[in-house]
């Protein structure tokens, strides 16, 4: 990509070599997924159904259900969206759905590496303790401590 500047500055933060190696592996796999060009969120499920004809074998005991049919499902604006797929479509789109799952796994691993590097930054230990603000001629304010529970005591 031309004209894009690097927004990440790894030279300013010391990251463990093992984390850098892991991030490089993740980046290579992300690039491989990007080269395929297609990612499809959702899942595909194999379904067997009953029809509306009362004398059909799908209503027998034991039932002989119709199918298999393939159904693609995903969420759009908090609503479930489903589409029926042909066997050819299932074969073609399954790789895209697998790409989406792998992409999410890789992103979670990359986020975990970033959080670990953030927590391991040695500069956290060098920061001086904050002093409470005081006004001339007044005693210091009592220390404000965060609550033990954030969700409330109900």
Instruction: Name the domain count of the chain.
Output: 1
Q: In this structure, is residue 136 part of a structural domain?
A: no
Position 1 scores a pLDDT of 47
Q: Is 56 among the domain residues?
A: yes
107 SS3 class:
helix
The phi, psi pair for 43, rounded to 5°, reads: -145, 160
134 inside domain: no
Once rounded to an integer, what is the mean pLDDT over residues 100-104? 94
pTM, 2 dp? 0.64
In a domain, 152, yes or no: no
Residue ranges making up the domain that contains 31: 14-119
User: Mean of the per-residue pLDDT values for the chain?
Assistant: 82
Q: Cβ-count burial of 33 within 10 angstroms (0-12 exposed, 13-18 middle, 19+ buried)? A: middle
Task: Give a yes or no: residue 83 inside a domain.
Answer: yes
Provide the pLDDT for residue 25: 92
């Amino acid at each position: 990509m031309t004209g894009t500047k690097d927004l990440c500055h790894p030279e300013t933060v010391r990251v463990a070599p093992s984390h850098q190696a892991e991030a490089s592996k993740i980046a290579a796999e992300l690039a491989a997924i990007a080269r395929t060009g297609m990612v499809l969120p959702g899942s595909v499920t194999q379904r067997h159904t009953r029809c509306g004809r009362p004398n059909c074998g799908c209503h027998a005991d034991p039932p002989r259900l119709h199918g298999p049919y393939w159904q693609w499902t995903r969420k759009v604006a908090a609503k479930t969206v489903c589409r029926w797929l042909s066997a050819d479509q299932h074969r073609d789109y399954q790789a895209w759905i697998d790409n989406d799952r792998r992409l999410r796994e890789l992103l979670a691993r990359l986020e975990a590496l970033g959080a670990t590097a953030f927590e391991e930054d040695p500069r956290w230990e060098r920061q001086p303790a904050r002093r409470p603000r005081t006004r001339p001629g007044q005693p210091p304010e009592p220390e404000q401590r965060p609550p033990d529970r954030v969700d409330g005591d109900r």
